[in-house]
Structure 1
Amino acid sequence: MVQINFWAILLASIIPLIMGFIWYHPKIFGTVWMKEAGLSEDKMKGQMVGVFIFSIILSLLMAYFLQFVIIHQFGALGMVGGEEMNANESYQAFMKDYGSAYRSFGHGALHSFMTGFMFVFPLVAINAMFERKSWKYTMINTGYWTITITIMGGIICGWYAVDGFHWVTQK
């Protein structure tokens, strides 16, 4: 049975808010980002509680999905249709040999960084081009998301290693 570490996902889901407070602070990129986005401080004021709550919910979805990108054993499980109990012996042997392989902060961060560079950057850039936003706007947002999901992925993958989490296979 494959177990999901919900504590790691919960912790990782808070990272976008923490990084947002830092990255978009007026002394870092906040002032430039607001200018490039066409926003003003007056426009940014208002009821932010709903924005933060919905942001955390969306961050939970991202963290939940990110584990499937960074933890390779989910791929092996997907190959057998998610049914470990009905999998061939070759799957059981694979999981015995590699069930806890590549579980570190660095490994999760590497795969998440690659996701940021090869998925987030094109996604943000395409939207920004159609919205007629500048490359400065594109790079500020891409940098934020790439660093944010790099940390999220490191936490998710690293927590599995530190926690002693292991894949349990049953015959």
Structure 2
Amino acid sequence: MVMDIVAVIVVTVVGMGLGALWYGPLLGKAWQAETGLTDEKIADANMGLIMGTATLLELIAAIIFLFMADDGSAFNGVQVGALASMFFAIGLGINYLFERQSMKLYLINIGYMSLTFILMGVIIGFLR
């Protein structure tokens, strides 16, 4: 039980950290260009609300992964993370088609989600 709580906290922090890197120095400018967000629009946002809500959602995802990666191995975690990634990639792909969003934006967003989900699965599988 204690290790489960530690695992959930660790993967929540990892997910938020990866997001900060992914949408910051790694792909931030490309993401901004694809979404039409300017530095001014981002500066005007309620970042406390956005970051707090994002953290809560990462925490919920971590708890879900805790239940999904049930055999306590990193390999099972990779499998669960990869399957979750494919599930969300398909769902988001359908939305992006109807919304006429760019393939570049899709790849940026699904790349982050996929990497985060796989890391969540590996870490939870390893720590269980």
Instruction: Kindly indicate whether residue 65 of structure 2 is the aligned counterpart of residue 66 of structure 1.
Output: yes
The alpha-carbon deviation at position 34 of structure 1 amounts to 1.0
Aligned counterparts of 1:19 and 1:49: Cα–Cα separation in 2:
18
Identity %: 29
**Structure 2 counterpart of 1:55:** 54
Q: Tell me the distance in 2 between the aligned counterparts of 1:31 and 1:124.
A: 21
Q: Give the whole-Å Cα distance in 2 for the aligned partners of 1:122 and 1:111.
A: 16
CA distance in 2 between partners of 1:145 and 1:111 (Å): 13
Q: Which structure has the larger Rg?
A: 1
CA distance in 2, matches of 1:13, 1:60: 5
Over 4 Å off, 4+ runs: none
Distance 1:129 1:43 in 2: 25
- 1:130 to 2:98 alignment: yes
Listed one character per residue, the Cα deviations across residues 15-62 of structure 1 (whole Å, up to 9, x for unaligned) are: 221011111124x21111111112111111133122111111111111
Corresponding position of 2:83: 114
> How far apart, CA to CA, are the structure 2 residues paired with 1:34 and 1:123?
22
Contact 2:72 2:124 in 1 (8 A): no
Distance 1:55 1:70 in 2: 22
CA RMSD of aligned residues (A): 1.7
- How many aligned positions are there? 126
Shift of 1:109: 2.1
Separation in 2, partners of 1:125, 1:40: 25
Q: Is the 8 A contact 1:124 1:141 kept in 2?
A: no
Secondary structure of the residue aligned to 1:24 is: helix
- Quote the Cα distance in structure 2 between the aligned partners of 1:23 and 1:123: 21
Structure that is richer in helix per residue: 2
Structure 2 runs not aligned, ≥5 long: none
For 1:144-163, what per-residue CA distance to the aligned partner results, in whole angstroms no more than 9, with x for missing partners?
Answer: 00001111111111101xxx
Q: Which residue of 2 aligns with 1:31?
A: 29
Specify every segment of 5 or more residues in structure 1 that has no aligned partner in the other structure, as ranges. 72-101, 161-171
Q: Is the 8 A contact 1:70 1:153 kept in 2?
A: yes
Measure how far apart 1:139 and its partner are: 0.8
C-alpha separation between the residues in 1 aligned to 2:78 and 2:39? Answer: 34
CA distance in 2, matches of 1:38, 1:127: 18
The one-letter amino acid paired with 2:118 is T
